[in-house]
Structure 1
Amino acid sequence: MNGYQKISAVLGFLLLLLTVGAVIRQSHQPEIVEIIPTLTGRPELCLTCHQGIEEISASHPQEAFGCVLCHGGDGLALDADLAHATMRGGSVPGTTGNPSDLAVVKESCGGSACHSGAAEDGSDHIHRVLTSVQATYAGAIAQVNYAFGQQPDPAARWGVFAVQDDNITTETGVPYLEKFSPGPDAPEAIHAFSQDCQLCHITAVPLDQPYFFRATGCAACHTIYENDGLYRGGDPTIPRDEPGHAGSHQLTTAIPYYQCNHCHNRGNYSLRQMTFLERDDLPGPHNLTAQEQRALDYYQPIAQFTLCEWELDCVDCHTNGEVMGDGDIHSSQGEIQYIQCQTCHGTLTEMPLLKTIADAEDPAIVSANLNPNYSVAVGDTVIATTRDETFGWVKWDGKRLLETGKVDGRLYEVPLVIDSACRQQPDQQESRYCHECHAYEREGN
């Protein structure tokens, strides 16, 4: 073989390698999936990799919103690092891919046409959440500072972040909070509290372990995490055996009690030790039946509970305003929590407050449209609260008060105090009074 033939052979071999490489690359290249969301008019290729991911919610349809409008990122990049480099989210691990994290929520979820609307129609969601006790942790900070002589009364002065409210509408609202940052002369207990006891607000990254898994910001409540933290959806890029993921890529208002439990009732904080004392009686997430799991998971051994506390979910009683805030900055959750037993059960002499829906744009109908388990129509008569919020899932049919569970659609008849043997008084609205007669374990269960 002469020199020319050798060169030709080498070039031919190199060409063969290039051809084989191209074929291999082509065989590993995913099928390009392009969408053009109507709200942006710009093409996106995100579903090329995330084909099968769940639509986030019916009110955020994929064909209208796409991915980039909320998540940010480069919608045309097929390399994961390039596509995700500019995604919106928090700045610490566990929050970086979450556009509802409170550090970025105004940018991703805000706007007057979305969640930064007017207080009058209840669409000022972001302001309400940012000023809520769940976000600021102002109540706990105030109580601990007061207990250790760092402030003269329990009124809120500090939050986990600074926030201001220029439109106070309640007697207990305060105008602003400064960022809580204990000075060098603060007692050791205050520094320990600042360091160890601030996992219980929706800007904090939770413990990375069973029962505690959740997101931050809006998704802390509206995106469901199972107790084991495993993903059960259709996105092929999310490992099924890696804890720390939501059960699916979805927002919901059908929020089960165990989602609330990721923060509430996982244990207690010790003022003496200034540390979190985790419960030691929690079973593995898969070891019990649903009822056994709930009894042990939700209720501490010393607790009593009534049948409604056992069968219903937290969202069946607590209102949007109580949980997300009313737009004012408060010094404690007690200042905004106003639902009582008589809200649904009435009193010895009066029926519960009722309201007949007359407007198709009534918030009761708007809220029902976001939940798959109940419906409200013009002409329906529903429970109303003293602050004119409505329980659209609790309806009066002319003879009975019927409640539809917001999580499972189960139907309950609500017993009324009037014309019953119950002796409940208007000033006896704490659950402890109900427990005197209606404690669940006293009924043989």
Structure 2
Amino acid sequence: MQTKPTTFHFLLFIVSGLLLATLSLVWWNSSRQPQPIELIPTLTGETEYCLTCHADLPEISASHPVETFGCVSCHGGERLALNADLAHSTMRGGGNPSALSVVETSCGGSNCHSGSEADDRHHIQRVTTSVQSTYAGAISNILFTFGAQPDLTARFGIAAITDENSKTGITALQAFDPLNANHPSVQKFGEECLTCHLHAEPREGEAFARETGCAACHTTGEHNLTTAIPYTQCNACHNRGNYDLRTMTFVERTDHPTQRIDDYYQPIAQFTQCEYTLDCVDCHTRSEVMGDGDIHNDQASIEYVQCKTCHGALEELPLTKTLTDPNDIAFTLAFLNPVVDLKLGDTILITEKGEPLWNTKVLPDGTYEMIGKATKQYFTFKPVMGTACEQKPDEQESHYCHECHAVEK
């Protein structure tokens, strides 16, 4: 005798089907999950699974080995999460942990790039007080031009900054808010002209593509940090065009030059062979570009390297220093960008402030050599002393040298 299906049997069938579907879904989902790749950085001793998805990323630099730092020390994020959205939900600065809004926690963590000037670990202090970050000179110029302040002394920066130990006499800058200005040109300046500093996100479009914070200079490609910075990296900010002071708008360059001499700021400008051949970082020092830890009034007050820094003058040779201390900062800089093999006993050029031009050497015959920091090109040159050069001691800006040494286009 056949038994008719009861409601119980029907419900049992439905529940069994749902259970089977659930188990199948769980199995399917687990089969799609990547096999976790565990990393325990020596710096933290804590497990993180970032390499499960990012194992193919190149090492960011020899100074930041992933086995030591891992990923979370710099980037933040949920170290044990295997879901991408969850793992990335607490990342610092999105994909850029060097953004100045988070740099104290990321680059400054574990006292890596934040510390005392004596230990040369005050990198964040130098960057955040630099004119690249404050934009103080441009802001004060505009405010003075349109009568919003009585002189060109810097009072405002992109962000409020304080440095009670500043040697320049400027110990603080207020945060600049163009909306507080009564003049429409100042307000227009705020709308159009505040994308050229390390805090600012760039304008949209491939032509304006660049990073912010430390990465604006030190990241030349995907996931890399370098001190071998080519001039093209500088051009990402410094060669887009010009500002029209009448309309307070940015006028983008319409030409697309392919020759290097035309790639510089002004296609009509003159350049010496040095300016044409070398990269920006071969002449401009760390303190000029990255700041020296003090708040400066404008760009002119931080730039100090001149032609005589390397070439000397008619009556004096350039300044030099013989390396006798194995802990000299010159060795550290040469280690970070090993284009030159510095040894104890080598004599190098230095600036008037004592900054080492570590990619130079004084040769036994009294001439000098320089290795390009980005190109590794080898250059030799002579001092001005003993030549027929007609330079004057008080005329050391490059435009004086252009009179005789300009490169023919």
TM-score, shorter chain, exceeding 0.5: yes
Q: Which amino acid aligns with 2:35?
A: E
Structure 2 residue corresponding to 1:401, chosen from 344, 368, 375 = 368
Distance 1:202 1:375 in 2: 33
Structure 2 residue corresponding to 1:192, chosen from 188, 195, 199 = 188
Structure 1 residue corresponding to 2:124, chosen from 119, 123, 126 = 126
Measured after TM superposition, the shift of residue 327 of structure 1 is 1.2
- Which residue does the alignment assign to 1:161? 159
- Which residue does the alignment assign to 2:297? 331
Change (3 A) 1:433 1:32: same
Whether contact under 8 Å (1:344, 1:414) holds in the other structure is: no
- Which residue does the alignment assign to 1:181? 177
- Which residue does the alignment assign to 1:302? 268
Change (3 A) 1:8 1:181: closer
- Which residue does the alignment assign to 2:61? 57
Whether contact under 8 Å (1:173, 1:328) holds in the other structure is: no
Measured after TM superposition, the shift of residue 316 of structure 1 is 0.5
Whether contact under 8 Å (2:261, 2:267) holds in the other structure is: no
Distance 1:395 1:142 in 2: 40
- For the pair 1:382 / 2:348, whether they are aligned, the reply is yes
Change (3 A) 1:22 1:408: same
Q: Which amino acid aligns with 1:250?
A: N
Pair member with larger Rg: 2
- Which residue does the alignment assign to 1:137? 135
1:124-145 deviations in whole A, cap 9, x for unaligned? 1111111111000000001111
- Which residue does the alignment assign to 1:242? none
Structure 2 residue corresponding to 1:318, chosen from 261, 284, 291 = 284
Structure 2 residue corresponding to 1:352, chosen from 291, 308, 318 = 318
- Which residue does the alignment assign to 2:381? 414
Measured after TM superposition, the shift of residue 163 of structure 1 is 0.5
- Which residue does the alignment assign to 1:438? 405
The more displaced of 178-187 and 8-17 is 8-17
List aligned pairs for 1:183-262, cutoff 5 A. 184=180, 186-224=182-220, 247-262=221-236
- For the pair 1:267 / 2:241, whether they are aligned, the reply is yes
Whether contact under 8 Å (2:181, 2:187) holds in the other structure is: no
Measured after TM superposition, the shift of residue 31 of structure 1 is 2.5
- Which residue does the alignment assign to 1:278? 252
Gaps of 5+ in 2: none
1:60-112 deviations in whole A, cap 9, x for unaligned? 111111011111110100111111111111xxxxxx32111111111112257
Measured after TM superposition, the shift of residue 414 of structure 1 is 2.3
List aligned pairs for 1:31-46, cutoff 5 A. 31-46=35-50
Distance 1:181 1:19 in 2: 58
1:219-269 deviations in whole A, cap 9, x for unaligned? 111111xxxxxxxxxxxxxxxxxxxxxx22011100010111111021111
- Which residue does the alignment assign to 1:227? none
Q: Which amino acid aligns with 2:149?
A: Q
Q: Secondary structure at the match of 1:263?
A: helix
Whether contact under 8 Å (1:282, 1:296) holds in the other structure is: no
Distance 2:405 2:155 in 1: 40
Q: Which amino acid aligns with 2:273?
A: L
Compute the RMSD of aligned alpha carbons: 2.2
Q: Secondary structure at the match of 1:383?
A: strand
Q: Percent identity?
A: 53
Q: Secondary structure at the match of 2:251?
A: strand
Change (3 A) 1:322 1:402: same
Distance 2:211 2:178 in 1: 27
Whether contact under 8 Å (1:393, 1:404) holds in the other structure is: yes
Q: Secondary structure at the match of 2:173?
A: strand
Gaps of 5+ in 1: 90-95, 225-246
Distance 2:345 2:204 in 1: 47
Measured after TM superposition, the shift of residue 27 of structure 1 is 4.4
1:354-389 deviations in whole A, cap 9, x for unaligned? 101111111111111111323322211111111010
Structure 2 residue corresponding to 1:66, chosen from 43, 67, 70 = 70
- Which residue does the alignment assign to 1:113? 111
Whether contact under 8 Å (1:111, 1:117) holds in the other structure is: no
- Which residue does the alignment assign to 1:370? 336
Q: Which amino acid aligns with 2:58?
A: E
Distance 2:256 2:64 in 1: 36
Q: Which amino acid aligns with 2:61?
A: S
Distance 2:312 2:25 in 1: 75
Whether contact under 8 Å (2:324, 2:345) holds in the other structure is: yes
Q: Secondary structure at the match of 1:276?
A: strand
The more displaced of 115-124 and 351-360 is 115-124
Q: Report the TM-score, using the length of structure 2 for normalisation.
A: 0.93
1:290-347 deviations in whole A, cap 9, x for unaligned? xx2x233224221111111111110101000111111111111111111000111111
Whether contact under 8 Å (1:57, 1:252) holds in the other structure is: yes
Q: Secondary structure at the match of 1:440?
A: coil
Measured after TM superposition, the shift of residue 25 of structure 1 is 3.4
Distance 1:201 1:383 in 2: 31
Q: Secondary structure at the match of 1:191?
A: helix
